Amino acid sequence: MDVPTGPDHPLAAPLHVCVVVPCYNEEGVISHTVDVLLQQLDAMAHAGLATLDSHICCVDDGSRDGTWLEIQELAKRNKRVHGIKFSANFGHPNALIAGLFANQMKADVLITIDADLQDDVAVLTDMLRHHHAGKRIVYGVRLERQVDVLPKRIAAELYYRAMRMMNERTVRGHADFRSADAGVIADLERFGEANLYLRGLFPLIGYTSAEVHFVRKERHAGESKYPYRKLLSLAWEGITSFTTTPLKMVFVVGLLMFVLASGLGIWIVWAAFHDRPIQGWASLALLVVTFSSINMIGMGVIGEYVGKIYKEVKRRPRYIIESTTHGE
């Protein structure tokens, strides 16, 4: 890992850091997470990278357990812990942007990390060193996924390869563990779209960036909030929110089917003129079902994009904040 250090890269003034932690049903986990992050912030302050008053913002995404009560208690015990509570479950991306937008004026660098701490907090130091060296965005990139089961690793690899083919800016192995300066977050706020895919938006914003690499850890406690159903939904959201390639594929498949149908039609006419009519209904039924299925898939893809347009034009709020711990 190439992290700028040494006399050729002297540190500027310490940066005020805000760590945004989205939470959904993290009772029994969030207290440990906050303790670990506070220790890491203290270590970075001791190294001259972060200010002593750098803080943590926990965003409760409509949890149904005692997560918010724990966040309130943590905030009472330590003024460096802030909390935001949604009125309902608005989703992981909205929890991230709520924490980022609420703190962009209070911090120099904002970091997002999941509450399960499977992302290695030790690399936060490397992230800050890159910011001191002038980088605007730093992506946390997983070196391997050994803690995940084999089907999940294979699906993730195929997904990132597909995304790279459709969008070359995609950062392979990157999820939502990243850091960005306040100016980048201000630019992010200008993206008013309802269908958020943050993993694609940050590379789209541009600016100088760097990567820090880590090995994903086991979850400290609790259960994953991303079962296969949600992972598939996230993958589809990323594809349809950030590229029109599926629509182009519908056109290409339709063109191929037209060529196939034309060839089949010529064959039928040729067979009729040579007294070799095609017998049976099975081949006809197969063709009808095949073409009908392709049509339905194509309509489904187009419908997905129409649905996204419908969400965008309604301009509903991305989230509603019910309360905060510091009256922000």
**pLDDT digit string, tens, across residues 71-106:** 998 989 889 999 999 988 888 888 889 889 989 888
Q: Are residues 109 and 211 in the same domain?
A: yes
Q: Are residues 79 and 182 in the same domain?
A: yes
Q: Residue 274's domain spans which residues?
A: 245-314
Nearest to 89 by CA among 326, 328, 318, 308: 318
Decide if 136 contacts 200 (C-beta within 8 A).
no
pTM: 0.69
Residue 16: predicted pLDDT: 92
Q: Are residues 54 and 149 in the same domain?
A: yes
| Residue 30 CB neighbour total at 10 angstroms | 27
Q: Are residues 158 and 28 in the same domain?
A: yes
271-317 pLDDT, tens digit each: 667 666 656 555 666 667 677 777 777 777 777 777 767 776 777 78
Q: Are residues 153 and 254 in the same domain?
A: no
- Identify whether 12 is part of a domain: no
Question: In angstroms, rounded to a whole number, what is the distance separating the alpha carbons of residues 246 and 257?
Answer: 16
* Number of domains within the chain: 2
Q: Are residues 73 and 211 in the same domain?
A: yes
Q: Are residues 266 and 188 in the same domain?
A: no
Q: Are residues 133 and 169 in the same domain?
A: yes
DSSP character at residue 10: -
Q: Are residues 209 and 249 in the same domain?
A: no
CATH code of 37's domain: 3.90.550.10
